[in-house]
Structure formats: structure tokens, C-alpha cells
């Protein structure tokens, strides 16, 4: 096991606190981190003396900002490797979601993309009042179907889910509370006390009965997840090196938005191409101008920004 995730126990050993330990990259989720999460939550699921599990991020800046971009950029050259990464992500989400003990997301900072999907995989959530929650996939080239498209309509309602998934605006903590995306919002100094309060209440419940209650409440989330996640995994893999993903990653590195109009123009020009370029190495296209590399094979492009 790597050191990407830590585990400690308190409340007389009845509560486990799982912390994503990658503050330098805003607790982004690379494959070792996902494997750690799966391993730890699988271990905790077998501990019958445990009563509650808290999931949080290291530091005060971020709970988790989702996929690690360095890893995602590597998939531009080897897109089929994304299939294994997505398998690790699904396994981690499943391990959190299927934990037989009640789980609390302690939201201590930014909650973005796959980080929000981890939040949604937990049963309850407590957020510091300066936290924002956001899905960014359609702005950056990623389908938000690692839990967000499946569970946001159930948690916050269809119209709000579409607003969050389509517009990608940051949702402040107070609004997240009003929407039902979190259970408690407290000043940052009171975050641990609020999590403690929920934990103590959860520990004062019959363990087999609350486990069965959780299984029953999971019905709609289980149904939405099981019917969509396999196809989502294939979509992710087939598009891991697409022009939109390349544009999203490249623009993020340059702290800019993608050239959405260029992408639309390239789509409109396909398959003939017109002014859009084709890759000199793999021949695929059309590729909008302004990119440093081909979105299909990773070839460096002349004239790229």
C-alpha cells in the first residue's frame, strides 16, 4: 500500500477516519490513491466492531479535486490504459458506497469532479462554510459519470442536477445545504465538532439494523449505478485521447478555457476537414488549431500554443 491514504481510529476504536494524503495536488485521485481507498474500505467493511467511517482530505484547501491530470495526460498517448484506471476508480467508489457502516464525508476544502463523486458515495456530508462543490466535466472534456450523473438527480433533484452538470458553476456550501447536497454546514473551526456529533449519534444505533437500513436506502442509487457504469467506462476509454479531452487538459495547464468555438467548427467540418488540421503522424482529425499535441496519438503539432 502507498502512503496516499491514511487510516486512524478514535472514539474508543469505534470510528475510522480515512484521509486522502495528497495535499500538494489538492488530493487528486491517481491510481495508487484509488487502490488504497479500495483496500482500506474493504478492510473496514470486515471490522464488525466499527460503527462509523469518516472520509476526508488532507489540509484545508481540498477534500479532493478528482482525477490526477498528470495521469490523465498520459492516456492521450495510450488511451486504452484508461480502462484500467477507470476500473480502479469504480472499485474505490464501490468500496466506499458498499461499506456496511454509515459513512460521513468531511468536506474540508474544494470538492470537484471525482471528489464530489466520493462525497456522493458517502451516506452523510458535513462541509466547512467556505467550501465549494463543483462538477467540471463538460467544460474540460470528461463525462461526469463516475457517480455524478447517476446520483445527483436522486440527491438534489433533476433540474438542479442538470444545472450543476451542464453549467459547471461552483456551488457554495450554503447553497449545497439548501439543495440537500450536504447535511450540515458549519464554520471551519467547528467542522470536527459537527462530524463528532453525527458520529456519536450513529454509534448509538443498532449495528445490524442500521446496516440493513443503509442497504434498503441504497436501492435507487444501486439501480442507477449498475445500469450505467459499464457503458460509462467504455465511453471514457474510447474518448480518453479525443480532441476534446486534449483541449481540456491543455487549456487547464495554461489556466485558460478551451477554445469551444474551434471545437464546434471542427465538428461541423468533419469528416471533410476544411480549415481544420489532420495529425501528420496518425492522420486523424479534424483537429482545431492552437493545440500542442494531437488528441488521438499525442504527436506534437507545429504551430500549437
Alpha helices, H only, 98-190 = 114-121, 137-140, 148-156, 158-167, 173-179
**Average per-residue pLDDT in the chain?**
91
**DSSP three-state, residue 162:** helix
Q: What pLDDT shows up at residue 156?
A: 98
**Tens-place pLDDT, residues 177-232:** 999 999 999 999 999 999 999 999 999 999 999 999 999 999 999 999 999 999 99
| Cis? peptide before 271, omega within 30° of 0 | yes
Place of cell 450543476: 164
Q: What is the CATH number of the domain that holds 32?
A: 3.90.226.10
> What is the rounded CA–CA span in Å between residue 64 and residue 46?
26
User: Which residue range forms the structural domain that includes residue 82?
Assistant: 5-237
Q: Per the structure, how many domains does the chain have?
A: 2
- Predicted confidence (pLDDT) per residue in 24-83, tens digit: 999 999 999 999 999 999 999 999 999 999 999 999 999 999 999 999 999 999 999 999
- What local confidence, expressed as pLDDT, does residue 273 receive? 41
Percent of the chain, pLDDT > 90? 75
Q: Burial, 28: exposed, middle or buried (Cβ in 10 Å; 0-12, 13-18, 19+)? A: buried
Read off the pLDDT of residues 104-117 as tens digits, 9 standing for 90 and up.
999 999 999 999 99
pLDDT of residue 259: 86
Whole-number Cα distances in Å, 267 to 202, 242, 264, 278, 284? 52, 12, 5, 13, 13
- The tens digit of pLDDT for each residue in 249-300 reads 888 888 888 888 888 888 887 654 434 456 767 766 555 555 556 655 666 6
Same domain (yes/no): 96, 193: yes
**What pairing do the DSSP bridges indicate for beta strands 171-172 and 132-134?**
antiparallel
Query: Exposure of 50 by Cβ count < 10 A (0-12 exposed, 13-18 middle, 19+ buried)?
Result: buried
Residue 93 has pLDDT above 90, yes or no: yes
Same domain, 219 and 248: no
Question: Which pLDDT value is given to residue 271?
Answer: 57
Q: What is the pLDDT of residues 2-28, one digit of tens each?
A: 789 999 999 999 999 999 999 999 999
Domain boundary residue, one of 210, 237, 264:
237
Residue 283: which residues within 8 A CB-CB, separation 6 or more?
Answer: none
Q: Whole-model pTM?
A: 0.88
Residues 275 and 131 in one domain: no
Average pLDDT for residues 86-115, to the nearest whole number?
98
Regarding whether 155 and 70 lie in a shared domain, the answer is: yes
Are residues 24 and 152 both part of a single domain? yes
Amino acid at each position: 500500500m502507498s502512503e496516499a491514504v491514511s487510516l486512524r481510529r478514535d472514539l474508543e476504536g469505534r470510528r475510522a477516519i480515512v484521509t486522502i494524503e495528497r495535499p500538494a495536488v489538492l488530493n487528486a485521485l491517481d491510481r495508487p490513491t484509488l487502490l488504497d481507498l479500495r483496500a482500506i474500505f474493504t478492510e473496514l467493511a470486515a471490522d464488525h466492531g466499527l460503527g462509523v467511517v469518516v472520509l476526508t482530505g488532507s489540509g484545508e484547501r481540498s477534500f479532493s479535486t478528482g482525477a490526477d491530470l498528470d495521469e490523465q495526460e498520459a492516456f492521450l498517448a495510450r488511451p486504452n490504459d484508461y480502462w484500467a484506471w477507470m476500473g480502479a476508480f469504480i472499485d474505490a467508489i464501490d468500496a466506499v458506497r458498499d461499506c456496511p457502516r454509515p459513512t460521513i464525508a468531511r468536506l474540508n476544502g474544494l470538492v470537484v469532479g471525482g471528489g464530489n463523486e466520493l462525497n456522493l458515495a458517502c451516506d452523510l456530508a458535513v462541509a466547512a462554510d467556505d467550501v465549494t462543490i463543483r462538477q467540471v466535466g463538460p467544460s474540460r472534456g470528461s463525462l461526469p459519470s463516475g457517480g455524478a450523473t447517476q446520483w445527483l438527480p436522486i440527491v438534489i433533484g433533476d433540474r438542479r442536477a442538470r444545472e450543476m452538470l451542464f453549467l459547471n458553476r461552483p456551488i457554495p456550501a450554503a447553497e449545497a445545504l439548501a439543495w440537500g447536497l450536504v447535511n450540515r454546514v458549519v464554520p471551519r473551526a467547528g467542522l470536527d465538532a459537527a462530524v463528532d456529533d453525527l458520529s456519536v449519534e450513529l454509534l448509538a444505533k443498532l449495528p445490524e439494523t442500521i446496516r440493513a437500513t443503509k442497504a434498503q436506502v441504497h436501492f435507487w442509487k444501486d439501480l442507477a449505478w449498475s445500469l450505467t457504469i459499464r457503458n460509462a467506462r467504455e465511453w471514457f476509454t474510447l474518448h480518453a485521447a479525443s480532441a476534446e479531452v486534449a483541449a481540456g487538459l491543455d487549456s487547464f495547464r495554461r489556466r485558460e478555457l478551451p477554445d469551444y468555438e474551434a471545437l464546434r467548427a471542427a465538428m461541423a467540418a468533419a469528416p471533410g476537414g476544411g480549415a481544420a488540421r489532420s495529425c501528420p503522424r496518425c492522420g486523424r482529425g479534424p483537429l482545431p488549431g492552437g493545440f500542442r499535441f494531437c488528441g488521438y496519438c499525442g504527436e506534437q503539432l507545429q504551430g500549437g500554443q
